[in-house]
């Protein structure tokens, strides 16, 4: 059972200089209005989102940590594309974002392709 809420009261608040034009995005089917062009991870954190993905093994909730593209804790699905680092994306109108749950299909396809390779030399069975 997951005891971590998807969102809570925001821990961050936007400075007045960051309060410009807004765009509408959705995260797990919940609509949000965030500043246009703002870092996506920061915009979601500012909106109160706390759970961006779960780990493939234990299902533990994860959220952005480094905010500079190193740790990969901020992975989400953006407009049906998995494995997107939300800390490296800018918010734009109409984005459809989903939390990333476990191993994505891209990884499963890569594993199946690797398993059909003989001796690691790229020859297929």
d(CA 73, CA 29): 21
Domains and CATH numbers, the chain: 16-124 (3.10.20.440)
106 contacts: CB under 8 Å, gap ≥ 6: 82, 83
d(CA 35, CA 49): 15
- Per-residue pLDDT tens digits of the chain, which is 125 residues long: 555 556 667 666 766 656 679 999 999 999 999 999 999 999 999 999 999 999 888 889 999 999 999 999 999 999 999 999 999 999 999 999 999 987 654 455 555 555 555 455 554 44
Q: What is the pLDDT of residue 58?
A: 86
């Amino acid at each position: 059972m997951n005891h971590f809420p998807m969102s809570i009261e925001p821990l961050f608040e936007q400075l007045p200089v960051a309060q410009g034009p807004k765009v509408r995005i959705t995260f797990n089917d919940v609509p949000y209005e965030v500043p246009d062009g703002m870092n996506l991870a920061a915009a979601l954190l500012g909106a109160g989102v706390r759970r961006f993905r779960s780990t493939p093994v234990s299902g533990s909730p994860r959220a952005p940590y480094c905010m500079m593209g190193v740790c990969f804790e901020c992975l989400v699905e953006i407009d049906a594309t998995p494995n997107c680092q939300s800390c490296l994306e800018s918010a734009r109108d109409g984005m459809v974002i989903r939390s990333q749950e476990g191993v994505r299909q891209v990884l499963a396809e890569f594993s199946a392709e690797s398993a059909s390779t003989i001796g690691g030399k790229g020859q297929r069975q």
